[in-house]
Amino acid sequence: LFRSMEMKKKIIIGLAVLLIAISCGKKEEKNADKNNPEKTVTEASKDSGNISENEIKKYTEYISLKNVPNEEEWQDSFKEVFTREFSDEKGEFKKPSAKGIESIIKTEETVNIFSEYVKDLEENIKKEPKFDEVDKSAEGLVQSLNNEKNVITEIVDYYKNKKYEKDNFEEGKKLAEKYKNATEERKNSYNAYSAALDKLSEKIGDKIVKKAETDGKTAMAGLVKYVNEANNFVNTAFAKENLKFDKEEVKKLKELHLKMQESYLKLKETTDEAAAKEGINAEEFKEIKKNSEELLENADKMIKAAENSAQKDVAIYASKFLNAHSKTVDGYNIISAKK
């Protein structure tokens, strides 16, 4: 269920961002240096009041890549087998059974998942324009991923070639500790990357809102601000495939919910008449506000269920939230397409 919803969510966000890029791109084309296209892109990215299509494309790819390490294929690969077969309840190394050794050798293809993700990250880092903080944190994540991949290769090789028979698992203990450190390093690198991307999301969202305000479109500005806040909540909440949140994560969701609520209240203050003056269909605007109330309500219930560790309820309200989010952003896409 959540796998299909996750994919749909990415498509929805991609469409919304792309539509914004197209509308913003019209303004850039007038000022483009036809003899030097690269110069145009660079200047656009430096202008805090403007936003280039390349900037949107690179940002969108980073958002997509942010969710990948939390998807099912990562959770069901080497990590799950190693945790189950090679660790005790305290997370310390335990001698694996013959079945455990066989299972870990079968996860050899895990390194391909790492390699594919690293390749995608590296390609996006190289793209223009430069996002200094995000690019730097992504480079750190690449380094830690490569390190973890190398440790996995070492562990698989150790058991595949039955080296444990010669040293009675002594090297196996050291490799287990090495793997634990590598995963912790990767987790820290991912958190830094995620935090840098959150800052960039806010910056790009502000640029889009300012552009709409500069153009005298306060209703559209309020709508863009609200949808961006809703997407920020989605990108954080559904980055976890299992939807299990610790105290810090629940706190973060509450903060994002509050921002979403604040931006919605401002949107709610905008009359249908004011929206109509900007060329926004009144009925479509009403529908967005209606769906938004449902979205906020289910986000709140989802957070409360997470606080109480009621996983069944978390799943129920998460599904309802995603349905409302889909309708909200679909409505926003329709409005954006007409601008």
Residue pLDDT, tens place only, 319-336? 999 888 888 878 877 776
pLDDT (mean) for 23-48: 41
Contact call for residues 114 and 156 (beta carbons, < 8 A): no
Q: Which stretch of DSSP H or E encloses residue 82? A: helix 78-86
User: Cβ of 33: how many Cβ atoms within 10 Å?
Assistant: 12
The mean pLDDT value for 144-161 works out to: 96
Cβ 179 vs Cβ 151: under 8 Å: yes
pLDDT at 238: 82
13 pLDDT higher than 90: no
Number of C-beta neighbours around residue 83 at 10 A: 11
CB neighbours of 192 closer than 8 A, spacing ≥ 6?
A: 137, 140, 141
Q: Per DSSP, what are the bridge partners of residue 108?
A: none
Mean pLDDT of the chain: 82
Helix 247-269 × helix 218-237 angle, to 10°:
160
Q: How far apart are CA 113 and CA 111, in angstroms?
A: 5
- Average pLDDT of span 62-70: 76
Nearest Cα residue to 28 out of 12, 39, 13: 39
Query: pTM of the full predicted structure?
Result: 0.69
**pLDDT tens sequence across 105-146:** 999 888 888 899 999 999 999 999 999 999 999 999 999 999
**DSSP state at residue 129:** S
Question: Which of 29-38, 65-74, 167-176 is least confident?
Answer: 29-38
Sign of the C-alpha dihedral, residues 200, 205, 206, 211?
positive
Question: Is the pLDDT at 264 greater than 70, yes or no?
Answer: yes
Looking at residue 279, what DSSP letter applies? Answer: T
Predicted pLDDT at 73: 63
Pair of tokens at residue 253: 């969701």
- Are 104 and 81 within 8 A, CB to CB? yes
Residue 333 near residue 15 (C-beta atoms within 8 A): yes
260 near 226, Cβ under 8 Å?
yes
